[in-house]
Every structure is written in structure tokens, then in C-alpha cells.
């Protein structure tokens, strides 16, 4: 006799078959316990019909939603199949449901749910601009969809079951392994997979360091992302500004600063766009080694260089003193929540366990996909393609502004350009930009509260606009740049 297949539905009671079919649907049916069994059956039929009408009317079952097969719903509710089938037929006749062979039973289109005012969702809209030069945003059209999809298939098909259990605080071993090799090859970082802790962003990394590594006071660059300083301050750590000039941060000020850590963007200072000069790189490493201090290197825009020689990671000069942090928010997308900390061995344990056993918002699946992209070479391909795309945009921006005599700086790498202007002009532009349909940043707005603004030869305080040239849509980029040039000319 042939062996019966375990997964076959042949001979199964219909309740067991129905339990494997359909979707979940909560309907609260409360029969009157004082009625007879026959009476309760009639009441439950009416209750089922009324409950389905209510769910359709108040939007819990929107138009187009497939309702469970009548056998499945009957099994879930403990009703006879004929009772549920009759209710479905009744609602089809009323025009609330539609039933078509092969496509199941669905909520009919054209029904407009009526929700109580108290349950109406609030209107939430993101700010928009006619000319979007927002900062820190890669162009979304560049996201490597095909490569991401292919890596997703490979990563999931090759993953062991243990990958989908609770993970270690330092994140996916596969990504740490690939990332260690990639950072060594592309950025000159010297590390091992065991010295990398995966996070969700640079901000998340700074928050973690503020809880574990930083003391009471940390030095930062005089101009930088305000929300990075705010992340550190929220943990009770004070920040002290270092002046920034054409050679990067003035690290000579560290000797008398009383800090035991400094946060720098040495590859491409944000927002001025300069690289930390070689002698200053050597000086800050000597300071950290001599004082047992820590340097935190935000490798901002390290991969997105255009017409300059590569600037290696500072971490490669002093792996025992430098913590390197980065993310894929600009190389891929801010929607991909993957960042990292490359730590000296002595700090790994304390940082990793302070992060916690359960990662609150990182996706191990995304980490596996990125690991596969790096291993397959498609991440490198995407980076090189992105460089060409952004370089063409940068060149157009420079040429168009130069035609109106507008100076641009900070453009050897990265996704933004600086347009120097007096501080008072910057403030007027920022005050009016939203009404004029523009989104961009201000140089003085990124200044540390305790830092003085730079001044020109006449003693006039200098600021400027910080313009993200990656953000505009492909279809509007030329028009947006023209509008920007016209605006600046008007205000100068």
C-alpha cells in the first residue's frame, strides 16, 4: 500500500483544511446565552452579517480587501459553513461584497468608510520645496534596485535558520567580515570583524559612544551637523569647539582643552568640505597616543571623491586610538539603516554589551543583503556609478553659478557645495527660503554656539549657503540650479 502523504488534504476534516486557508479576521460575535440553540444560531447569523457590515462601513475592511473563504471563517468562528456562505451571499446581493471565480470574495469598490470624528487620522505631511537642495540626501533614483533584489534572494536562500534568531549585539558576522575587508581595501582601515559593532546610523553610533567611551567633555569641530552635537549633549557630555580653516580642524587647540576625546570629519570636513592636512593628522594622532585619548573619525563622504587623490581613513594611522564610524545613508539610502563602529580592541566589549542583546531597529536581513552586495562587487559598482552621476551634477552647478559670478567651495568630494556669503545675507535667505520654495542649509546655522564665525579681511562675519546638489529630481535639476542662481544674485 502506498504511503499517505502527510501534506495531502485528502480525507482531512474540513475544519483542518480550513485552518490552513484564508486570512485572519476578528469579528466579535456575542450570542444571547438565554436563547435556545436554534435561536442562538439565527442570532449568530444576524450578528455575523451585522459585524461584517460594520467592518466594511467603518473602514476596518477597506474596498478591495479579500475576506477569508467561507470555510475558513466558519472554522474560526465555530459556525456552520452554510451559515457563513449564506451571509456572504446576502452581502454580495447588497453590493458590499463581490465574488468572482478564481479571485475570491472581496469588499466591493466604491464604498466610502465613515469613521467617527474621534478616530479620524491626523493629517501628516512632510515639508516640501519647489527647489529641493536638502543636505545629506543621495538621489533616490540611484538606489541599486536590481542589485539589492538579487542580493536579497542570494542572502536569504543561503542563510542558516540561526540567522533569524536573536542576534549578537555587534550584528551580522557576515556583514562584519565583508565590511572589514571592504574598509581595508577602499578606506585603508586596519581592523578585524570582531572589532566592528554594527549600528543603524552615525547618530546612533555617537549616542552609544556617549554612553560608554566619552568622558564629561568632548572636542568637536566648530561647524558641523547640529544634531550630532545634540546627540552627545543629551547624554550629559559637554562639547568644546575647535576652529576650522582651509586645512581642517585646528587640532593644536586640543593640548590645553581638557578633553579626552575629539570627533572629527578628516576626509571631508562637514560642512566646509576640506580635508584635514597631513601634519594635523599626525599631530592629532600624537596627542591621542600621548594622553590616552580617543579620536572619533566620522568618515563623512569618504567614498564620494571627484577630482582629488583619495584621502585614507585616519584610523589606519592609529587603530588603537581612533574609532571610525560611518554608514550607508549617503552611499545607498537613509532608508537602509546600517551604520558601524570600528573600535580599538580594548573598547569592543564595553561598547557591544552597552548596545544591548536585542537591537531595537536594525534589520539583520538588510545586513545580510549588504554583505552579499559587497562580496559580489555590486556595491563597488554602485559607488563608482554614483561618483560619475554626482560629479556631472557638481560640474553643472559650478559652471552655472560661475556664469553669474557666484563663488563655490567645498566641492572636491561629497554631496554638497558651500556658497560663501556674509552672515546677514545667509540669515535673510534662510528666513525667506521656504516662502520662496527653496530648501537648503546655512553655514552659520551649523556653527557651535561657543564658536565665533569666521571673518573676512574687512572683519565682516562670514556665513554662506550649504547646498545639497544630489537632492533635486533628474527632471528638474537644471531648472532648480537656474532658480538658485537667480535667488542668490537677487540677495547679494
Tell me if 420 is assigned to some domain.
yes
Place of cell 536562500: 157
Which of 350, 376, 402 marks a domain boundary?
A: 376
Q: pLDDT for 80-89, tens place per residue?
A: 899 999 999 9
In a shared domain, residues 329 and 195: yes
Number of domains in the chain: 3
pTM greater than the 0.85 cutoff: yes
Tell me if 453 is assigned to some domain.
yes
DSSP assignment of 214-252 equals --SEEEEESBS-HHHHHHHHHTT-EEEEE-EETTEE-GG
Tell me the pLDDT band of 36, cut-offs 50, 70 and 90: low
Contact 310, 282 (CB under 8 A): no
Tell me if 239 is assigned to some domain.
yes
In a shared domain, residues 335 and 441: no
- Using DSSP, state whether 110 is helix, strand or coil: coil
CA separation, residue 422 to residues 158, 387, 400 (Å): 57, 31, 21
Which of 376, 395, 429 marks a domain boundary?
A: 376
Rounded average pLDDT over 423-451: 93
CATH of the domain at 439: 3.90.1150.10
In 397-461, where do the E strands start and end?
416-422, 438-439, 441-442
In a shared domain, residues 170 and 318: yes
Q: pLDDT for 250-289, tens place per residue?
A: 999 999 888 999 999 999 999 999 999 999 999 999 999 9
pLDDT over threshold 90, residue 196: yes
Tell me if 19 is assigned to some domain.
no
CA distance 333 to 319: 28
Q: pLDDT for 89-126, tens place per residue?
A: 999 999 999 998 877 899 998 777 776 656 566 776 66
Tell me if 346 is assigned to some domain.
yes
Q: pLDDT for 198-215, tens place per residue?
A: 999 999 999 999 999 999
* pLDDT number for residue 15: 60
Tell me if 65 is assigned to some domain.
yes
In a shared domain, residues 437 and 317: no
* pLDDT number for residue 229: 93
Tell me the pLDDT band of 310, cut-offs 50, 70 and 90: confident
What are the φ/ψ torsions at residue 338 (nearest 5 degrees)? -135, 120
In a shared domain, residues 340 and 223: yes
pLDDT over threshold 90, residue 76: no
In a shared domain, residues 277 and 407: no
Tell me the pLDDT band of 32, cut-offs 50, 70 and 90: low
CATH of the domain at 85: 1.10.10.10
3-state SS, 321-371, equals CEEEEEECCCCCCCCCCCEEEECCHHHHHHHHHHHCCCCCCCCHHHHHHHH
Tell me if 122 is assigned to some domain.
no
In a shared domain, residues 273 and 342: yes
> Residue 396 sits in which domain range?
381-490
In a shared domain, residues 208 and 183: yes
- Mean pLDDT over all residues of the chain? 89
Tell me if 211 is assigned to some domain.
yes
Q: pLDDT for 46-59, tens place per residue?
A: 999 999 999 998 88
Which of 376, 404, 439 marks a domain boundary?
A: 376
* pLDDT number for residue 378: 97
- Read off the C-alpha cell for 394: 557638481
Amino acid at each position: 500500500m502506498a504511503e499517505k502523504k502527510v501534506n495531502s488534504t485528502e480525507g482531512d476534516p474540513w475544519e483542518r483544511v480550513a485552518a490552513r486557508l484564508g486570512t485572519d479576521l476578528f469579528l466579535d460575535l456575542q450570542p444571547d446565552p438565554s436563547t435556545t440553540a436554534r435561536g442562538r444560531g439565527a442570532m449568530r447569523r444576524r450578528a455575523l452579517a451585522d459585524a461584517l457590515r460594520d467592518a466594511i462601513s467603518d473602514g476596518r475592511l477597506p474596498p478591495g480587501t479579500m475576506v477569508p473563504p467561507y470555510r475558513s471563517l466558519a472554522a474560526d468562528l465555530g459556525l456552520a459553513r452554510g451559515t457563513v456562505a449564506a451571509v456572504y451571499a446576502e452581502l454580495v446581493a447588497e453590493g458590499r461584497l463581490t465574488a468572482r471565480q478564481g479571485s475570491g470574495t472581496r469588499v466591493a469598490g466604491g464604498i466610502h468608510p465613515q469613521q467617527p470624528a474621534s478616530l479620524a487620522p491626523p493629517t501628516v505631511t512632510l515639508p516640501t520645496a519647489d527647489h529641493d537642495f536638502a543636505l545629506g540626501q543621495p538621489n533616490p533614483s540611484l538606489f541599486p534596485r536590481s542589485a539589492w533584489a538579487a542580493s536579497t534572494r542570494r542572502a536569504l536562500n543561503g542563510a542558516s535558520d540561526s540567522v533569524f534568531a536573536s542576534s549578537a549585539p555587534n550584528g551580522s558576522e557576515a556583514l562584519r567580515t565583508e565590511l572589514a575587508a571592504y574598509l581595508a581595501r577602499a578606506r585603508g582601515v586596519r581592523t578585524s570583524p570582531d572589532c566592528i559593532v554594527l549600528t543603524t546610523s552615525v547618530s546612533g553610533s555617537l549616542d552609544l559612544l556617549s554612553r560608554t567611551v566619552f568622558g564629561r567633555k568632548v572636542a568637536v569641530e566648530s561647524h558641523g551637523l547640529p544634531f550630532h552635537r545634540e546627540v552627545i549633549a543629551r547624554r550629559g557630555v559637554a562639547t568644546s569647539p575647535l576652529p576650522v580653516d582651509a586645512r581642517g580642524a585646528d587640532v593644536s587647540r586640543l593640548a590645553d582643552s581638557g578633553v579626552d576625546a575629539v570627533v572629527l570629519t578628516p576626509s571631508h570636513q562637514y560642512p566646509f568640505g576640506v580635508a584635514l592636512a597631513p601634519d594635523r593628522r599626525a599631530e592629532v594622532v600624537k596627542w591621542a597616543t600621548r594622553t590616552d585619548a580617543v579620536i572619533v573619525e566620522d568618515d563623512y563622504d569618504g567614498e564620494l571623491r571627484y577630482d582629488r587623490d583619495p584621502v585614507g581613513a585616519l584610523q589606519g594611522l592609529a587603530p588603537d586610538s581612533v574609532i571610525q564610524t560611518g554608514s550607508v545613508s549617503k552611499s545607498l539610502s537613509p532608508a537602509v539603516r546600517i551604520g558601524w563602529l570600528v573600535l580599538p580592541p580594548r573598547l569592543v566589549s564595553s561598547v557591544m554589551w552597552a548596545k544591548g542583546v536585542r537591537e531595537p531597529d536594525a534589520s539583520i536581513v538588510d545586513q545580510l543583503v549588504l554583505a552579499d552586495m559587497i562580496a559580489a562587487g555590486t556595491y563597488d559598482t554602485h559607488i563608482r556609478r554614483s561618483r560619475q552621476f554626482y560629479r556631472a551634477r557638481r560640474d553643472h552647478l559650478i559652471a552655472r553659478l560661475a556664469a553669474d559670478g557666484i563663488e563655490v567651495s567645498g566641492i572636491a568630494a561629497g554631496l554638497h557645495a558651500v556658497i560663501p556669503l556674509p552672515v546677514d545675507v545667509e540669515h535673510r535667505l534662510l528666513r525667506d527660503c521656504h516662502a520662496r520654495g527653496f530648501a537648503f542649509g546655512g553655514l552659520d546655522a551649523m556653527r557651535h554656539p561657543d564658536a565665533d564665525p569666521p571673518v573676512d579681511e574687512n572683519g565682516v562675519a562670514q556665513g554662506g549657503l550649504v547646498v545639497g546638489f544630489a537632492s533635486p529630481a533628474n527632471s528638474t535639476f537644471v531648472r532648480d540650479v537656474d532658480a538658485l542662481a537667480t535667488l542668490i544674485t537677487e540677495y547679494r
